Structure 1
């Protein structure tokens, strides 16, 4: 190789190294902004819980609905019936849709609910007995980012035990008590409680690796030319 071409080649390699360093550094900075955000949820005083959402896929432009699966963990309490024997403790929020505006978390889109039935037969010597009692509970909730709706209903059905035995019905000759609560315009609020940065390579470390690789490549080239 001529002495005139060597400075040009060295300059080109130096430029390439700097470009690699800048690109890797920029990638490191972008990823360093990614985080797993933990929010507490208050759903109209009836439901409560938490969720964890990963914002690493955001572009920060306009309103974005991050696809299902972005909420890695979450629970909604308040819409189950353990008192009626339901084994469900909460609604799972993992996998629901999270919504952002210009990089700022707005809320989630999710729904859930529960239902349970408990039967009771009174002893024959109990006053008014024997009688058959069935308690039915049902609940449903839905969240559309910052607002939603929910309902909760408990129905007590009591019937003379002999009537129940005769026709198997708990409606005929029954005494029914309804307990129903409905909130069609429920407010939903979110409170940020924790921010965990995503683990990413340090920009300087990545840049140093790029420099080292480029340097080795230049040394190999020099040895080949000398041979």
Structure 2
């Protein structure tokens, strides 16, 4: 009886460990779709992938539909501004438990059927243990405006964000770094930021966070923390 209870306890313990959420891993890739240079941020947790990419020429983030995947080949839908799928991105030889250094695949338009090759190289990685190769890895955000796109710098083994970088689409240069008051906000990968409103009414909010966010002041030409 004692042996049975011990075995049952061991099984319960292993099951509890298996049910624990896996730590998220986010990779930053640079490369090409066809002949166009792109940057891609791809995150995974419990086999759920989320991602966004941008053409270096235009600097407008393009959201990929979150996808559950258990194979070495990952296929994700590219979404338009209305959230409708317009193309399929397929990444080959992408392993579930870690990000690959070299990834190849295809981009295929749903409208025309045109296919372009994808060639990517891993240039940055952040997870619960490390940020490689630099102490901070910058994650491109899906949310953007006509004037700006946004990045979140993440150090290794830090699950909360403390800074948001506002980037100028016209130049690709940093406009301002916005500091988030302690203890920061949970890292939600490419969907950490949530934009509300337009122009003078633009607000930067954060998913699953009590920090009130920032609002754009057109007259002062700056972002101010909300009270």
TM-score where L is the length of structure 2: 0.34
State the structure with bigger RCO (CA 8 A, min sep 6), 1 or 2.
Answer: 1
Larger Rg: 1
TM-score where L is the length of structure 1: 0.34
* Higher share in helix: 1
